[in-house]
Amino acid sequence: MAERTLRVCALYPDLMNIYADRGNMLMLERRCAWRGIGFELTAAGLGDPVDPDAHDLFYLGGGQDRDQQLCAQDLVDTKRDALHAAAGRGAVVMGICGGIQLLGDHYELGTERVPGIGLADLHTVRAIDGSRLIGNVAIEVELPGLDGPRVLAGFENHGGRTYLAAGEVPLGRVLKGHGNDGRSGFEGVLRGTVIGTYLHGPLLPKNAWFADWLMATALGVDPGSLSALDDRLEDAAHQSARHAAGV
């Protein structure tokens, strides 16, 4: 029986899962197993309530506009309060691409305003001409508990342009690629343990160091306290993703 268990809740894993974002879950599961840390994965779909105290990490992957529209109202109606409570007690709430858009205030899709859950002070607007921000991307991030800047590498593909409100902090600074809106140089959002990013890939297999940071943050332990793993393959995957982005 593991002494510690990482308890993850995947939100709408069937609808919000493009670019194989579920690979992120597999990455967490493996890195926990290799360290003798337990791993529990619960799915919460349309209509399912979530218990804010039962999970350490809530995960919302990317989705097509139509899938996001299906989930948005449900998120507001059945999960918003629980997710605010969870973030309030220090659980990680992470949104990727369509996920970051739904963590914000709203997503403007033409004449429609898709509601978000307001965990981060941002909003997203779909480009009127339908153009998308696509390609390999690398960002520089500075995260609590780590001893200096690091690089996150991934892939982005979004029609939405995300704008952070004044005072809201991005997850990172764009080194290559488009980021939140293709202009600001900002990528993602970081507000305490609420994290949003446009990086797919899936993100975690391309950035094992970040998987560990996320795991440690969700468990409430120092990232340096996790035992080292043989990361030769993971480091090669990271280098290859950076190379693809030109960094």
Q: Which residue of the set 32, 97, 123, 158 is catalytic? A: 97
- Under the binding rule (CB under 6 A), the answer on residue 95 touching ligand GLN is no
Of 45, 115, 135, 159, the one binding ligand GLN by CB under 6 A:
159
Q: Which of 27, 31, 41, 62 binds ligand GLN (CB under 6 A)?
A: 62
> Closest approach of Cβ 69 to ligand GLN, in Å?
9
Q: Which helix (H) or strand (E) holds 98?
A: helix 98-103
Residue from 64, 73, 131, 239 in contact with ligand GLN (CB under 6 A): 64
- Asked if 196 is part of the footprint of ligand GLN (rule: CB under 6 A), the reply reads no
DSSP secondary structure string for all residues of 135-194: EEEEEEE--TTSSS-EEEEEEEEESEEEEEPTTPPPSEEEEES-TTTSSS-EESEEETTE
Task: Say if residue 40 is exposed, middle or buried (CB neighbours under 10 Å; 0-12, 13-18, 19+).
Answer: middle
Active site residue 97: yes
Q: Smallest distance, Å, CB 64 to ligand GLN?
A: 5
DSSP of 61-87, one letter per residue?
Answer: ----HHHHHHHHHHIIIIIHHHHHHHH
Which residue in 13, 52, 95, 98 binds ligand GLN (CB under 6 A)?
98
Distances (CA, A) of 101 to 54, 72, 87, 113, 175: 24, 10, 17, 12, 21
Q: Is 10 exposed, middle or buried (0-12, 13-18, 19+ CB in 10 A)?
A: buried
Of the residues 63, 104, 154, 196, which one makes contact with ligand GLN according to CB under 6 A: 63
Structure tokens at 218: 């969700």
- Residue 202 preceded by cis peptide, ω within 30: yes
Number of chain positions touching ligand GLN (CB under 6 A): 12
Binding to ligand GLN by residue 158, rule CB under 6 A?
yes
Give the number of other Cβ atoms within 10 Å of residue 163's Cβ.
18
Under the binding rule (CB under 6 A), the answer on residue 123 touching ligand GLN is no
To the nearest whole angstrom, how small is the minimum distance from the Cβ of residue 160 to ligand GLN?
A: 3
Instruction: Please select the residue that binds ligand GLN; options are 5, 157, 176, 192, rule is CB under 6 A.
Output: 157
**Is 178 annotated in the active site?**
no
Task: Please check whether residue 196 is in contact with residue 139, taking contact to mean a CB–CB distance below 8 angstroms.
Answer: no
Query: Rounded to the nearest whole angstrom, what is the least distance from the CB of residue 72 to ligand GLN in the complex?
Result: 11
Choosing from 55, 106, 158, 200, which is the catalytic residue?
200
Q: Write the binding mask 4 to 23 for ligand GLN: x where contact by CB under 6 A, - elsewhere.
A: --------------x-----
Tell me which residues are annotated as active site.
97, 200
Which residues in this chain contact ligand GLN in the complex, by CB under 6 A?
18, 62-65, 68, 97-98, 157-160
